């Protein structure tokens, strides 16, 4: 399994159809304008739209878009969050981490109203850019929406609806935005930041948390954390040019539903829920042990089904490590105790009707060693998988062959 973990660092080489930063580097954001261009752009505005979390999983983290208001009054929204279920090989690409998204231009008024009707937070800020930068930005957007340039390879952390806009704003400010943000401390890691938007669904969060490796556990600077729309909004509001001019003068709050109780609230602070998962693991194990003292056959079946489910999860993890482009799964030490071998434990409990699994005992030992090393040797604490261990370790101990041997001795 260690060899498999090492092998998983070799990502598939998939070409980015439209490399935003590469294309932006070719644009001159200070090119002088002709008189008619200067007159047009002076009556044109570019704004950042930020939409709060929605109900579907893909909307839990909010959304970002750019809106260009033309002199005629027409408002065009440029949106990088479009994907198509009917795309060829969509589900296969999804499983392999090859999500192709699109940027599209649409009339902004109805898109904003749609977000309002969904009872989501909606805020709009006009960007204070030079006329030259504004004109170059709009020209870039018009090129980006053409069919041959509209597709990009989505990455949840590195390349999404917010990071595309983040990079555009950086180039439009001649690199000042990035230079400022990189010197500002971030709030935490990718894992810690996304946990705030998912912890309201503790089971789903635990699964997604388990499937991701130490790659998302490095502490971020403020520029890196702008993959989240809310973080991007706040950074744009906070940013000031070197000459003291603000990028944003006013925030238009079109709708605020944060305190309405309609859906989950995202905490401003990082909160540690390790203790809750530890309590869940211990409580579940105590229930299994109690069940075993009264109805040992039923406990064996329940334990077997749990190991069967964990075997499925371990198989998914192994697939993602070896055959997908989801680099956030590479180097995942959870593969040492969460892998397809757990099907053997399920087989022993369900088919052979054994009272315990030797493999579960080995996995328990591995987790105990990891816990000790994490506390004693900082180098072993690179992956934040305490929640995974907190749930699995008690369950593995209750389903291990230690239990079977103890019961045989009593007989």
Mean pLDDT of 36-40: 96
Is the pLDDT confidence value at 157 over 80?
Answer: yes
- Model pTM above 0.85: yes
- The pLDDT of residue 4: 44
pLDDT computed for residue 385 by the predictor: 96
Q: Which two tokens stand for residue 235?
A: 């950074």
Tokens read off for 404 = 């079977």
**Burial class for 352, CB neighbours closer than 10 Å (0-12, 13-18, 19+):** exposed
For residue 159, list its beta bridge partners: 155
Note the pLDDT of residue 404. 47
Instruction: Give the pLDDT confidence score for residue 146 in this predicted structure.
Output: 92
Quick one: pLDDT at residue 12?
53
Contacts 24+ apart (CB under 8 A), 338-342: 338/210, 338/310, 338/313, 338/314, 338/388, 338/392, 339/1, 339/311, 339/314, 339/315, 340/311, 340/314, 340/315, 341/311, 341/314, 342/307, 342/308, 342/310, 342/311, 342/314
298 CB contacts (<8 Å, ≥6 apart)? 291
Q: Kindly state the average pLDDT of the residues 321-344.
A: 94
Rounded distance, CA 373 to CA 339, Å? Answer: 21
Q: Between residues 111 and 4, which one has the greater pLDDT? A: 111
Give the pLDDT confidence of 97-116 residue by residue, as tens digits. 888 899 999 999 999 999 99
Model pLDDT for residues 58-104, shown as the tens digit of each residue: 999 999 999 999 999 999 999 998 887 777 777 778 778 888 899 99
* The token pair that represents 348 in the structure block: 């022993």
Residue 400 has a pLDDT of 64
For residue 271, the tally of other CB atoms under 10 A from its CB is 10
**3-class SS of residue 357:** strand
Coil, strand, or helix at residue 411?
A: coil
User: Which of 207-211, 226-230, 294-298 shows the lowest per-residue confidence on average (mean pLDDT)?
Assistant: 294-298
Question: What pLDDT score does 1 carry?
Answer: 43
Q: Percent of the chain having pLDDT more than 70?
A: 94
Summarize pLDDT for 353-387 with one digit per residue, the tens.
887 788 888 999 999 999 999 888 877 789 999 99
191 close to 384: Cβ distance less than 8 angstroms:
yes
Q: What's the rounded Cα separation, in Å, for the pair 224 and 67?
A: 23
CA 124, CA 47: separation in Å to the nearest integer? 7
Q: What confidence tens digit (pLDDT) does each residue in 125-139 have? A: 999 999 999 999 999
């Amino acid at each position: 399994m260690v060899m498999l973990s090492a092998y998983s660092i070799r990502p598939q080489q998939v070409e980015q159809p439209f490399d935003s930063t590469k294309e932006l580097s070719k644009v001159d954001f200070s090119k002088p304008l002709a008189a008619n261009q200067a007159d047009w752009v002076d009556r044109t505005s570019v704004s950042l739209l930020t939409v709060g979390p929605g109900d579907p999983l893909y909307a839990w983290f909010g959304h970002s878009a750019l809106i260009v208001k033309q002199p005629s009054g027409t408002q065009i929204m440029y949106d990088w969050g479009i994907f198509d279920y009917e795309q060829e090989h969509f589900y296969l690409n999804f499983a392999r981490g090859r999500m192709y998204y699109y940027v599209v231009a649409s009339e902004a008024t109805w898109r904003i109203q749609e977000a309002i009707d969904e009872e989501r937070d909606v805020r709009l800020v006009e960007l204070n850019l030079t006329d030259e930068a504004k004109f170059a930005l709009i020209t870039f957007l018009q090129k980006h929406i053409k069919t041959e340039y509209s597709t990009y390879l989505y990455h949840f952390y590195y390349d999404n609806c917010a990071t595309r806009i983040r990079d555009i704003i950086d180039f439009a400010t001649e690199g000042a935005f990035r230079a400022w943000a990189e010197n500002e401390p971030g709030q935490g890691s990718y894992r810690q930041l996304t946990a705030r938007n998912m912890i309201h669904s503790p089971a789903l969060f635990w699964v997604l948390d388990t499937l991701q490796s130490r790659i998302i556990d490095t502490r971020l600077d403020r520029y890196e954390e702008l993959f989240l729309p809310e973080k991007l909004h706040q950074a744009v509001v906070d940013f000031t040019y070197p000459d003291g001019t603000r990028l944003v003068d006013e925030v238009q709050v079109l709708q605020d539903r944060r305190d309405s109780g309609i859906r989950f609230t995202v905490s401003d602070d990082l909160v540690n829920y390790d203790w809750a998962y530890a309590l869940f693991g211990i409580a579940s194990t105590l229930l299994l042990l109690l069940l075993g003292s009264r109805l040992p056959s039923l406990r064996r079946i329940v334990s077997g089904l749990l190991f069967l489910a964990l075997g499925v999860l371990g198989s998914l993890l192994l697939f993602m490590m070896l055959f997908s482009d989801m680099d956030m799964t590479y180097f995942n030490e959870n593969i040492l105790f969460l892998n397809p071998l757990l099907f053997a434990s399920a087989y022993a409990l369900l088919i052979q009707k054994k009272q315990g699994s030797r493999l579960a005992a080995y996995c328990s030992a591995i987790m105990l060693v990891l816990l000790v090393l994490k506390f004693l040797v900082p180098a072993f604490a690179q992956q934040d998988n305490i929640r995974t261990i907190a749930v699995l370790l008690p369950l593995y101990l209750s389903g291990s062959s230690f239990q079977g041997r103890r019961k045989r001795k009593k007989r």
